[in-house]
Amino acid sequence: MVHRSVNPPQRGWSLTAPPPLWAELEQHLFRDDDDEHGAVILAGLAYGPRGPRLLARELLLAEDGIDYVAGTTGYRALRPEFVRDAALRARTEKLAYLAVHNHFGTTSANFSPVDFASHERGYPALRKITKQLVGALVLTPQAAAGDLWLPDGTRHLLAEVTVPGGSLVRLTPAPTTVETSDTRHDRQARLFGDRGQQAFGRMRAAVVGLGGVGSIATELLARLGVGHLVLIDADTIDETNLPRLVAAEPDDVGRLKTELAVRNARRANPDIELTVVTENVQHPDALRALVGCDWIFLAADTNAARHWVDRTVHQYLIPATQAGVKVPVDEHGTVGRIHVAVRQLVPGRGCMWCNKLISPTELALDMLPDRVREQARYVDGVPAPSVIALNSLAAGEAVNHFMLAVTGLHTDNGEHSRLLFPRSGEHVLQRSRQTANCLTCSPAGILAQGDAPAVAER
């Protein structure tokens, strides 16, 4: 069941690029020679509350002097054979075709009259060949503009380019205006700036799992000023949950966890918009709600939740943070190495399969109907320990990461995962591993395919 309190205004066309692809493009375009360079991006497409989103899947670099040559009317142009090959791939793979070049300047980007004239000469025919969206992108180091030609004959400007890495980069054609933050958020805005505070207000974040970690994350996100939360959990509250759920009362036993989360989010911010899904994350309603988000917090510790959130991260280029706590206690009551894990799931970097964080056996069990699953689990019934103070470490670390990423305050690339060991005080940073041609996180698989995955699924 999905409730939508308000229909959000439709946002304009945007392009989202996986951080590895974008880094390669920037390196190609912005060199010490201060010259113009070219490339083509092939992109998937997704429709949703964030407006129509192009999802950069493949980058074809045009080599100077061979693929990117002196133009007959403009300064330089992509060689016709290069365009033809790229266009045929776009047609075969059902991807949008975007020609990219750079201009000089910093905080604003505009096509020149010569650029526009070449689009008008070339794109109607190219659109007929590819039967897909075609267009162009012009970049400066801090700005992006796009001219999009749709198969239905309409033409649109690109509103924004997003690169969802450890720093959430957003490029627009020109600097955007910023409203002064409300008094309530004054102390935060002194850290994030009005621009940062406004960015939270315009974001839609999902919390998957509203138990010990998710309950605290919801409270933090709502108080931080995130404008829209998507709350996903199918469970009801039992008596053993009461010590760990924010503001839970004895009367809440038997109520849905989403109900308590809604109450807390509204108390923290009466203006917040909420989408509530009382289903497990693999339910189609939950998946549909997830793909409309700017960020996902994974606070449910099943293999099914990991798998479906991980897929969404790579297929739709939506960043996610997994937050969890492990408290190992053996059958003699001996307490092992307690650890708090906060992992960054960065689109196009190694996925949870690449990092061996999903067990195929456990995933298969999670996907069975409830009753069958209980029978299939041979050893069952001993609940894992769970404590609010440990959960708060995980939730706090996850939301802090998000807040620094959105406001560009990480001092490194922000893509590290972090393991904390409260018993010894140690902590470890981990880099994500990636296997070649992974079916989840690379262009050999579902990366950036959006609404129309054409490649074999895992």
Residues that bind Zn ion (CB under 5 A): 112, 115, 351, 353-354, 438, 440-441
Nearer to Zn ion, 115 or 294 (CB): 115
- Closest contact distance (angstroms) between CB of 103 and Zn ion is 5
What is the residue type of 179? E
Nearer to Zn ion, 348 or 450 (CB): 348
Please tell me the distance from the alpha carbon of residue 282 to that of residue 195, in angstroms, as a whole number: 35
Please tell me the distance from the alpha carbon of residue 202 to that of residue 223, in angstroms, as a whole number: 14
- Closest contact distance (angstroms) between CB of 350 and Zn ion is 5
Nearer to Zn ion, 8 or 74 (CB): 74
- Closest contact distance (angstroms) between CB of 356 and Zn ion is 10
Nearer to Zn ion, 106 or 112 (CB): 112
* Dihedral angle computed from the Cα positions of residues 288, 289, 291 and 292, in that order, rounded to the nearest 10 degrees: 130
- Closest contact distance (angstroms) between CB of 351 and Zn ion is 3
Give whole-number Cα distances, 215 to 231, 358, 388, in Å.
10, 24, 10
- Closest contact distance (angstroms) between CB of 313 and Zn ion is 10
- Closest contact distance (angstroms) between CB of 115 and Zn ion is 4
**DSSP structural state of residue 241:** G
Nearer to Zn ion, 196 or 347 (CB): 347
Report the residue number whose CB is nearest to Zn ion: 438
Nearer to Zn ion, 410 or 416 (CB): 416
**DSSP structural state of residue 442:** S
Nearer to Zn ion, 317 or 351 (CB): 351
In sign, the C-alpha dihedral spanning 250, 252, 257, 262 is: negative
238-242 contacts: CB < 8 A, separation 24 or more? 240/383, 241/211, 241/212
Q: Closest Cα to residue 2, out of 157, 264, 206, 180?
A: 206
C-beta atoms surrounding 426 within 10 Å: 11
Nearer to Zn ion, 112 or 430 (CB): 112
Nearer to Zn ion, 99 or 323 (CB): 99
Nearer to Zn ion, 71 or 80 (CB): 71
Nearer to Zn ion, 23 or 388 (CB): 23
- Closest contact distance (angstroms) between CB of 111 and Zn ion is 6
The answer to whether 219 and 245 are in contact (CB under 8 A) is: no
- Closest contact distance (angstroms) between CB of 114 and Zn ion is 7
The answer to whether 247 and 259 are in contact (CB under 8 A) is: no
Please tell me the distance from the alpha carbon of residue 225 to that of residue 196, in angstroms, as a whole number: 10
The beta strand positions in 7-115, using DSSP E, are 13-16, 38-46, 53-61, 68-70, 76-78, 96-102
- Closest contact distance (angstroms) between CB of 164 and Zn ion is 16
The beta strand positions in 25-83, using DSSP E, are 38-46, 53-61, 68-70, 76-78
- Closest contact distance (angstroms) between CB of 355 and Zn ion is 8
The answer to whether 41 and 98 are in contact (CB under 8 A) is: yes
430-435 contacts: CB < 8 A, separation 24 or more? 430/343, 432/344, 432/346, 432/349, 432/350, 432/354, 432/355, 433/350, 433/354, 433/355, 434/349, 434/350, 434/351, 434/354, 435/350, 435/354
Give whole-number Cα distances, 387 to 64, 240, 259, in Å.
59, 11, 22
- Closest contact distance (angstroms) between CB of 183 and Zn ion is 45
